[in-house]
Amino acid sequence: MLEKLQKVEDRFGEIESQLGDPSVIADVDRFTKLTRELAALEPVIQKFRQYKKILAQIDEDKILLETAEDDELKNLAAEELAELKKSKAELDSELPILLLPRDPNDEKNVIVEIRGGVGGEEAALFVGDLFRMYARYAERQGWRVDIVDSNPTTIGGFKEISFTVDGAAAYSRLKYESGTHRVQRVPVTESSGRIHTSAVTVAVLPEAEEVDVEINPADLRIDTYCASGAGGQYVNKTESAIRITHIPSGIVVQCQDEKSQLKNKEKAMRVLRARVRDLAVREQNEAIAADRKNQVGSGDRSERIRTYNFPQGRVTDHRINLTLYKLESVLNGDLDEIISALITADQSKKLSLSNENF
């Protein structure tokens, strides 16, 4: 482990030197890439330097215990040594996790797509519930949510809705939300009071930058149309809505949220790049499917990941067998306990695999 950490520190020093080079500063793309890498390594370096300092202090205290003649000095050294060993043990647990390979997408903004599945109108209502849950969670994190497209129903739900979440490391936390979410409750449309089970799917895609995926403009078919809505003042009379078809993949993206055709096109292209990149990544992952199955939150949208049970006020995440009796709080955006538990479980699995391969 120490050898790996030393290599990381050496790389950190190399990057610091390169960032002081005028030719690197003049190259915006390279400078940005190196700055991001430096920021990603900094938490590891801080812990490693703290660890080395503790090891040096432990050696000093051990020598002092062996050579000091003053009993009071020996007692002080023994007390300090006990505290240092405790700190070392904590870092012994933290450092291997920090050395795990980072997901290169963790720092990215995300595209979230929620679609109603089994359950008709009740599923559509739950799509709306989940959108509000993520919007409130994003607000707590200081992130910005922007609707790209939505297909509302007459009773207040959505057949589907897609939106962007812009914020620091948004993907690192929201990536665990991909999958099938079940809801068990008495629908507002049900007069007999029977509990129904409905389902919706959530897809969380890291936003693809233009350098991540190359899209040939010749491969796009762009159509404009009048935005639809609830009627009356909400219907856009001009052809500001945009539908973009990526001909090679058949992916279709549309956006009608903005009154400006240009803004709708920009939003649609953000989603299109993310979907094209996601398709390429999923095709690659078919070759390493076994590895994906070993990860918590593999991103498989067919995987049932969570159940929201209204009669019991219960939320259960099936991947880690976590049950919380705080349904209302969770739906109000209090997701940190669930997401933190998923991150811990994911790190533990990766650490176990890393130790097996060591």
Are 73 and 54 contained in the same domain?
yes
Same domain? For 170 and 306 the reply is yes
Together in a domain, 193 and 236: no
Q: What is the pLDDT of residue 279?
A: 84
The per-residue pLDDT for 325 is 96
Contacts (Cβ under 8 Å, ≥6 apart) of 25: 19, 31
Angstrom CA distances, 160 to 59, 131, 236, stand at: 62, 10, 20
Q: What is the pTM of this model?
A: 0.69
Domain count, the chain: 3
Asked if 74 contacts 68 with a C-beta cutoff of 8 angstroms, the reply is yes
pLDDT at res. 295: 45
Q: How many CA atoms lie within 13 A of 305 on its CB side?
A: 22
Q: What is the pLDDT of residue 144?
A: 95
Report the CATH number at residue 268. Answer: 3.30.160.20
Q: Of 255, 283, 311, which marks where a domain is finished? A: 283
Cα→Cα distances 124→24, 38, 140, 200, Å: 51, 44, 25, 8
Please tell me whether residues 64 and 144 are part of one structural domain. no
193 and 306 assigned to the same domain: yes
Residue 257 lies in a domain: yes
Q: Mean pLDDT, consecutive 10-residue segments, the chain of 358 residues?
A: 84 92 90 86 89 92 85 87 92 82 84 90 93 97 92 89 92 93 85 83 85 78 74 52 88 84 86 85 60 46 85 95 96 96 87 62
pLDDT 10s digits, 297-321: 444 456 789 999 999 999 999 999 9
Tell me what pLDDT residue 211 has.
55
Domain CATH code at residue 38: 1.20.58
Q: Which domain holds residue 133?
A: 110-211+292-351
